Structure 1
């Protein structure tokens, strides 16, 4: 999420509006192409059967943000290689994992074969989930789906639809305060250069101006209004602190920046039981 550049149609990056179709096309192509490199770089950190919420290293085994999972039906959106889904399955949940990218699901299938922990894998658009209403106890994602769709309010409504009354929706995204800084894990990333209120997405584009990667920015208030507008009740907003013994750098996440301001926001919301 490198937020430099102008809105000119030239190779590189820009901040400009994109349609849902353009964002979907760009990100499906990006993750299909980048899946191997992503897993090579981050696969060891994420594990084969583990649920890591964020680059800060917060694990579901320690945080318990989903509550007791044994015997529950869980949907993981934007599952990538589905390490979290396999961890949930091993913890006793009935899990389905979805992703828009066939390339990432290929890695999920390989990891299932490698570990012997298998969950159903479904290639699906998060804005049009192929499931009946009210069948899941929990929907979750760690940096999947939510930052990549133009109409994230519609995503919230779709998650609300497939949750049972009383169900839980938990998702992690880049903390919106990060959007005012450059994507630099060093001292260059400590200087605020962008407006927090500039909601134009970050776009990587080719020489024709065609988007190849799109990431969306929403303020904290935007995200809360999306949740409330869909019918959810916000229960908590977790901002993981950088652990003192965590020395790894993940893209723009680093110990230097993590000690000063948050890099991840995790939203916990419930669908009312009534």
Structure 2
């Protein structure tokens, strides 16, 4: 049974996928692996290590830009997203580029893949900020990874929750508690949730990963690079010079 968060976010992404791809498509590139609004590129960062010949799963792929780049690097890739409309954009880009990414519509809390099917898993702001039960996602990712497999994912840096989601000066002053884990919820005129995003503290992420049986091997807090002037929602050069905007966790299945 899909959770309230899953139902709301499936509908939201189906309704907003077109605008999202128009607004961010150039930055993401049809075949490019950008981890975060700071612009960390897997081609330079190598957080996944050698991918050629490896079986890779992209979690919450959107239009599968990251997965498509992995295909160009010789990986065997599968990808999924909760949004059918996002996957239609993946099909469109496949036709435009001549690159093919196998995609499936699925909920990250219940993956339709076999045990130990993948060598690597990755997620660039996919699924995890929006799920009600991240422990279920981590356990599912661990299940589909082979022993020794690697999972790397990026999410909004937890400290951002204490600040307004504003790229300007207002976004530099905390106006809520970092420890308030009340989800951010948008509702329609009937009170039905139409968008849900969940906050976890840094300790929450660490403890959830530990409880799932994954071992944290690294944490990257990207600094805002010189010359990068693009604003993405609440991410901006102004805020990026003062506050971390993204956390990228590297984990392994032992």
Name the TM-score, length of structure 2 as normaliser: 0.99
The structure 2 residue matched to 1:216, chosen from 198, 201, 215, is 198
Q: Give the structure 2 partner of residue 85 of structure 1.
A: 67
The structure 2 residue matched to 1:65, chosen from 20, 37, 47, is 47
Q: Give the structure 1 partner of residue 28 of structure 2.
A: 46
Matched, 1:173 2:155: yes
Q: Distance in 1 between matches of 2:216 and 2:30?
A: 31
Matched, 1:188 2:201: no
The structure 2 residue matched to 1:133, chosen from 115, 120, 142, is 115
Deviation at 1:62, TM superposition (A): 0.5
Q: How does 1:1-274 map to 2 (within 5 A)?
A: 21-272=3-254
Q: Distance in 2 between matches of 1:237 and 1:209?
A: 38
Q: Distance in 2 between matches of 1:20 and 1:101?
A: 13
Asked if 2 retains the 8 angstrom alpha-carbon contact of 1:20 and 1:150, the reply is: no
Gap runs ≥5 in structure 2: none
Name the TM-score, length of structure 1 as normaliser: 0.92
User: Deviations 1:53-80 (Å, cap 9, x if unpaired)?
Assistant: 0000000001000000000000001100
Asked if 2 retains the 8 angstrom alpha-carbon contact of 1:201 and 1:216, the reply is: yes
After TM superposition, what 4+ stretches of structure 1 lie above 2 angstroms from structure 2? Answer: none
**Bigger relative contact order (CA 8 A; separation at least 6):** 1
SS in 1 for 2:3: helix
Q: Distance in 2 between matches of 1:39 and 1:127?
A: 25
Aligned length: 254
Gap runs ≥5 in structure 1: 1-18
Q: Distance in 1 between matches of 2:90 and 2:101?
A: 9
Deviation at 1:169, TM superposition (A): 0.6
Q: Distance in 2 between matches of 1:209 and 1:223?
A: 30
